[in-house]
Amino acid sequence: MKSKFGGLIPPGTVSFACCAVVACAAACGSTGADHAGSDPQQSAGGMAGSSRAGAGTGGALPSGGAPSGSGGATLGGAGSSGSSNSSGGASAGGASAGGASAGGASAGGASAGGASAGGAGGATNAGGAGKAGADTGPYPDITLAGLTTAVELAPVRLAAGGIYPAKVTVTSGGVDALFGSNPPLVATNAETQALRSSVQHGNLRIIFTVCEGLYRIVAKKSAGITTLADLKGKTVDYSGGTSSAYFLHQMLGLVNLSESDVKTGSAPSANSGGQAAAFWEPNMQQYAAAIMDADRIEFQKDDQGHEVYRELFDLHATAESLADPVKRRTIVRFVRSLITASEQIRTDPNVVYPLLTGPTGVSQAVLEQSFKYERYAGTLVSDALDQLVAEEVWHAKVNNRTARSRAELAPLIDDSVVRDALAP
């Protein structure tokens, strides 16, 4: 069976002081933290990802849109530039410069796109407060733990360049950092790592989808690979226990194969020796570019053209931080900045490339290709809980534990921060 990808649109420890907004990707060969951080997707050797278990939305989202999933209204999906959102969402551009409103947006506040009533994927606000309060005072510097080389951090890099009204420091790590000594206020990771960490930390909360990563398998025809079934017995570069492993699991399942039917390689790069690779960007772009066009074949969707997987690279906080009025106000303002940054990236990704070449270690040309496999919808996707429920079965089996129910997983998602960030 041959499935080709298509229908996609282009959409450290590092500190940034507030400065003029200038214009993200994962460093070549990075195998660790993001996609493992303190999690095997954002910490050394790991990568965090998320999965889509089942047919997803084929192709890219409409500009500013968020994929709708069963059981929940799209939360905060940005609409077309200049249009206001429905059901009480913030109008394009957010609050006027310097103006405080109830729940408050300051200059650079919520951008086009609003939230419709309802929780993400049917999840309800897990103990969140109401509106964040008027935006009347200065904001503190914040620290975010994440895979510093990740392309998915593009909105974070742009927000740190001047949209968030204070300093943003990005440190290497992931969701586990939230429970260590001197924890950051927020952390990014793929949902695979949220599932893993939440087994020990029931107070972990997913509050915003920073990026949706569209993964792909790139293979060499010269290795005898022309269909997915031909991967059997071949060496595939991927990282176990991460988003790339779940993606590979889903793809192999289309032809009744499993991870045990392939040989595990290492992180793909331009010099990778694997016969195929299933990883995140920009590693995949570098791997693909090193293969002659005539020798390269790619797989991403099923025969009906449905996405088999998409990583949900999320922003996380703890329930305790969200219950603290001062910390919550800061988190809401940061999320509002990410919404604005996401809209700017969708409008013109060139604005963020200069901010990403350094942290990711790749050229703008590589970033431009990798961005075809990234979506920055600027919301908390509506099917987040659906993905957690589907992926939990795989995650529990891999880790020899009992899978949690939908009701047990629902408190992991708190949509109240996005609702507050989009409030007029």
Domain-located, residue 177: yes
Mention every residue, 6+ apart, whose C-beta is less than 8 A from residue 13.
Answer: 148, 169, 170, 171, 172
In what helix (H) or strand (E) does residue 284 lie, and over which residues does it extend? helix 283-289
Residues 326 and 265 in one domain: no
Residues 140 and 224 in one domain: no
CA gap 358, 191 in Å, rounded: 26
CA gap 1, 12 in Å, rounded: 40
Domain count, the chain: 2
Residues 331 and 263 in one domain: no
In what helix (H) or strand (E) does residue 245 lie, and over which residues does it extend? helix 243-253
CATH number at residue 290: 3.40.190.10
Residues 322 and 416 in one domain: yes
> Residue 47: what pLDDT?
33
Residue where a domain stops, chosen among 266, 299, 332: 299
Domain-located, residue 3: no
List helix spans (H) across 168-242: 191-198
Residues 248 and 193 in one domain: no
CA gap 299, 240 in Å, rounded: 19
Residues 223 and 134 in one domain: no
> Residue 135: what pLDDT?
61
Domain-located, residue 23: yes
User: Euclidean distance between the first and final Cα of the chain, in Å?
Assistant: 50
Residues 207 and 275 in one domain: no
- The separation between CA 152 and the C-alpha centre of its own chain, rounded to angstroms, equals 6
* DSSP 8-state class, residue 229: G
Residues 274 and 322 in one domain: no
Q: Mean pLDDT by 10-residue block, N- to C-terminus, for the chain (424 residues)?
A: 34 36 35 43 34 33 34 36 35 34 34 35 42 68 96 98 97 97 97 97 98 96 97 93 94 95 80 86 92 95 91 98 98 98 98 97 96 97 97 95 98 98 94
Domain-located, residue 172: yes
- Indicate the pairing of strand 168-172 with strand 296-299: unpaired
> Residue 266: what pLDDT?
75
Mention every residue, 6+ apart, whose C-beta is less than 8 A from residue 104.
Answer: 95, 131, 132, 133, 134, 135, 136, 423
In what helix (H) or strand (E) does residue 204 lie, and over which residues does it extend? strand 204-213
Burial class (CB in 10 A: 0-12, 13-18, 19+), 254: middle
**What is the domain range of residue 179?**
14-214+310-422
Residues 95 and 196 in one domain: yes
Residues 205 and 220 in one domain: no
Domain-located, residue 70: yes
> Residue 267: what pLDDT?
75
Domain-located, residue 2: no
Residues 189 and 222 in one domain: no
> Residue 136: what pLDDT?
66
Residue where a domain stops, chosen among 254, 279, 299: 299
Residues 264 and 372 in one domain: no
Domain-located, residue 305: no
* Phi and psi torsions of 15, nearest 5°: -115, 145
- Indicate the pairing of strand 142-146 with strand 168-172: parallel
Domain-located, residue 333: yes
Residue where a domain stops, chosen among 275, 299, 323: 299
